Structure formats: structure tokens, C-alpha cells
């Protein structure tokens, strides 16, 4: 059984999918990220990137591919919020059509509507040929609050009010930060497993002096995935042909770097690229980021990061049962690999 915490990017674009020659390098699918904690699969958001991910899971997960029928293929899906670019791939997610799949879906309720209602409405007969209820997978859809913690261990998946007394090294622990820095609100997630953690903070706009609550939430994360949709000049309305985007609920590359530096993250992954940006413009964002926070990478489809827990029991103070020491030199042992 794999003991790595792995992250793979399947959709990195914000707002709407952008096929074409100008976006080949970083990719044109909207937000979707696969996180593997050992054998457990957690998906962050269901933009169109979840469509190729679903095909891959249906092909390679034994329980889904028909190899182990006695056990359902369990998949957790976390919604940051319910805007189109984070949900539009779900109706095309192949495992959701397979009776051998058990989906645990968590996220926020909308301001005026429950999460379940929004997902059902996205697949009403007026808008899509297959209703949510007609997808064959078992679906456990649960809106969660910021105060709750989502756990996944040998006994299964559940949302709890507290992890006091939890002493289980095998548990995946997922904490929630509710941000108001995006229209309608958004959840950031912190996924921790065996002393390694990944923070996902998409669709958020920076504050003057940085977003202190987010910095606290992301403190010492090994990987911080942060919205970095805009070049500074674009945000300020100083780029010809690009009206100002202040207040739209997305960050500049500088805002993302400020959060990464203040939280002392191991790596910053720039995410939710503007759909109007060419590969050259995203590469420019990455250059700017590296000058502000050296360990920065602009997310691209196929980017993979592996975090290997060190078996030493001396820890960095991550709030899970087993405390594991990070690698000797700088506390990080991140590896990159390109795949697809
Ligand atoms: Zn978005
Ligand atoms: Zn949004």
C-alpha cells in the first residue's frame, strides 16, 4: 500500500474551459485536483478536469473496473463552492454512473439553496438529460460547516465536530476554512495525512496586509494551492484590453505569494489561471511568482507532487495522531513528475 500523499492536477483554469493552441502548455480544463492519501482518493472540485480523471479512475480502480465487486470504490469529492467552473464536469464523471462507486460529497450550502438542490438543479431535465438521482453510484451528499472536520479512516468517512482524542495515524483529516473573499463565499480545505498537508485555497481575493486567517489556516503546509488568476496590471486595470478585476474574488500573483510567504508554505502552486491568458501570460505569472516566493510553480494539467512521510516519530507539530519528521535539510521532500 502506498504511503505517499500525492497531488495531481487535472484542471487548472478558472471560469470556463479554454481549448486551443494558446493554452496547450498549462491546459484548458476548469478546476479539478486529485489527492491520493495512500489508496484513498479525494477530489477537489468538479470542473471539466474531473472528466478525464473519471475515465482514468474507472479504468484503474479495481473496485470500479470490476476486479473486487464485494467492495465499493469509495471516492470523496470536496466542493470549494458551487460556481459553474467547479461543478460543470460532474455530470460527465464516469464513476458516478457506476453502481460499484460510493461517492462521499462534501461542501458548503449555497446562500439561498442547499448544496444538494444546486447539484440537482444543474441536472434538471431542462438543463441535462440525466438527473442526479439517475446516476447509479451511491451518493452521500453532506453540507459541512467550518467548525466540522472530515475524517477518513478504516471505519469509513464522516464529518465530526472535534478531533480531540483522535489517535489514529491512518486517518485522513480534512479541515475547513470559510472565506468571504469570493462572491457567495468559498471553502478552503487542508488535507493532512501522516504529518503531511496540502492546502487548497482557490477563488479567493487577497487583502491589504494579506489574508491573516488564511495564513493561519495554511501555516506550515507542505503544499499551498492558491488562486493566482491575475497579473498585477490586469487587476489594477492597467493592461490594455483587460478591464480591472478588483472585487471579482480572485487573487493577483503577488497576493498568492504573500500568503505563501507568511504561512511559510513549502511550495506554492499557482492555480485558477485566467481563461483569457495564453501560455505565455501564465508563464509570466510564474516568473513573477518565483521572484517573490522561490518555490512557486504555475499549475498545469498533469502536474504531480508526491509527499513522502518520514517514518521518524519526531514531529513538526501537525495536529494528527502520528507526528512525522520532515526531511533533514529544509523540512521539505517534495518531488515533481510530469505525467500526461
Ligand atoms: Zn472558479
Ligand atoms: Zn467562484
Report how far ligand 2's centroid is from the alpha carbon of 99 (Å): 31
pLDDT of residue 310: 66
pLDDT tens sequence across 177-235: 999 999 999 999 999 999 999 999 999 999 999 999 999 999 999 999 999 999 999 99
Strands 101-107 and 156-160, bridge-based pairing:
unpaired
The share of the chain scoring above pLDDT 90, in percent, equals: 82
Which ligand minimizes its atom distance to the CA of 272?
A: 1
Which residues, at least 6 apart from 328, have a Cβ–Cβ distance to it below 8 Å? none
pLDDT of residue 261: 98
323 falls in which pLDDT band (50, 70, 90)?
very low
Residue 313: exposed, middle, or buried by beta-carbon count in 10 A (0-12, 13-18, 19+)? exposed
Q: At what angle do helices 279-292 and 253-263 cross, to 10 degrees?
A: 40
Which ligand minimizes its atom distance to the CA of 14?
A: 1
Report how far ligand 2's centroid is from the alpha carbon of 89 (Å): 15
What average pLDDT does the segment 59-76 reach? 72
* 255 in Cβ contact with 272 (< 8 Å): no
pLDDT of residue 277: 97
pLDDT of residue 2: 77
pLDDT of residue 275: 97
* 172 in Cβ contact with 193 (< 8 Å): yes
Report how far ligand 2's centroid is from the alpha carbon of 203 (Å): 5
> Helix/strand/coil (H, E, C) string of 32-51?
EEEEEECCEEEEECCCCCHH
Reduced to 3 states (helix: H, G, I; strand: E, B; else coil), residue 90 is helix
Report how far ligand 2's centroid is from the alpha carbon of 19 (Å): 20
Report how far ligand 1's centroid is from the alpha carbon of 145 (Å): 20
What average pLDDT does the segment 77-83 reach? 98
Which ligand minimizes its atom distance to the CA of 83?
A: 2
pLDDT of residue 322 exceeding 80, the answer is: no
What average pLDDT does the segment 94-106 reach? 96
pLDDT of residue 67: 55
Per the prediction, the chain carries an average pLDDT of 90
Identify which has the larger pLDDT, 250 or 322. Answer: 250
pLDDT of residue 335: 45
Q: Which residues surround ligand 2, an ion (CB under 5 A)?
A: 83, 203
Report how far ligand 2's centroid is from the alpha carbon of 240 (Å): 25
Report how far ligand 1's centroid is from the alpha carbon of 190 (Å): 18
Report how far ligand 2's centroid is from the alpha carbon of 83 (Å): 5
What average pLDDT does the segment 296-320 reach? 75
Report how far ligand 1's centroid is from the alpha carbon of 200 (Å): 12
* 53 in Cβ contact with 34 (< 8 Å): yes
Which ligand minimizes its atom distance to the CA of 202?
A: 1
Which ligand minimizes its atom distance to the CA of 88?
A: 1
Global pTM value: 0.90
pLDDT of residue 311: 65
Amino acid at each position: 500500500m502506498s504511503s505517499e500523499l500525492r497531488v495531481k492536477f487535472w484542471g487548472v483554469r478558472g471560469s470556463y474551459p479554454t481549448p486551443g493552441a494558446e493554452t496547450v502548455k498549462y491546459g484548458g480544463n476548469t478546476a479539478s485536483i486529485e489527492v491520493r492519501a495512500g489508496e484513498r482518493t479525494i477530489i477537489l472540485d468538479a470542473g471539466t478536469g474531473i472528466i478525464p480523471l473519471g475515465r482514468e479512475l474507472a479504468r484503474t480502480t479495481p473496485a470500479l473496473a470490476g476486479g473486487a465487486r464485494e467492495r465499493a470504490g469509495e471516492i470523496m469529492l470536496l466542493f470549494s463552492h458551487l460556481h459553474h467552473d467547479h461543478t460543470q464536469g460532474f455530470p460527465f464523471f464516469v464513476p458516478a454512473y457506476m453502481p460499484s462507486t460510493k461517492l462521499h460529497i462534501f461542501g458548503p450550502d449555497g446562500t439561498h439553496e442547499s448544496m444538494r438542490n444546486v447539484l440537482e438543479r444543474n441536472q434538471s431535465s431542462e438543463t441535462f438529460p440525466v438527473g442526479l438521482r439517475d446516476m447509479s453510484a451511491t451518493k452521500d451528499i453532506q453540507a459541512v460547516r467550518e467548525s466540522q472536520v472530515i475524517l477518513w479512516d478504516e471505519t469509513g468517512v464522516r464529518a465530526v465536530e472535534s478531533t480531540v482524542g483522535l489517535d489514529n495515524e491512518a486517518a485522513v483529516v480534512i479541515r475547513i476554512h470559510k472565506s468571504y473573499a469570493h462572491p457567495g463565499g468559498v471553502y478552503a480545505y487542508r488535507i493532512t495525512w501522516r504529518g503531511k498537508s496540502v492546502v487548497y485555497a482557490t477563488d479567493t481575493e487577497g487583502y491589504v496586509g494579506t489574508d491573516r486567517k488564511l495564513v493561519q489556516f495554511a501555516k506550515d503546509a507542505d503544499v499551498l494551492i492558491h488562486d493566482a488568476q491575475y497579473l498585477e496590471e490586469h487587476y489594477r486595470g492597467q493592461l490594455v484590453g483587460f478591464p480591472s478585476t478588483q472585487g471579482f474574488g480572485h487573487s493577483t500573483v503577488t497576493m498568492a505569494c504573500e500568503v505563501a510567504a507568511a504561512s511559510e508554505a513549502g511550495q506554492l502552486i499557482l492555480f485558477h489561471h485566467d481563461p483569457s491568458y495564453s501560455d505565455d501570460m501564465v508563464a509570466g505569472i510564474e516568473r513573477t511568482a518565483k521572484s517573490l516566493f522561490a518555490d512557486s510553480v504555475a499549475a498545469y494539467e498533469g502536474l504531480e507532487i508526491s509527499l513522502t512521510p518520514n517514518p521518524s516519530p519526531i514531529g513538526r507539530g501537525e495536529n494528527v495522531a502520528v507526528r512525522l519528521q520532515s526531511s533533514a535539510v529544509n523540512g521539505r521532500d517534495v518531488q515533481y513528475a510530469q505525467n500526461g
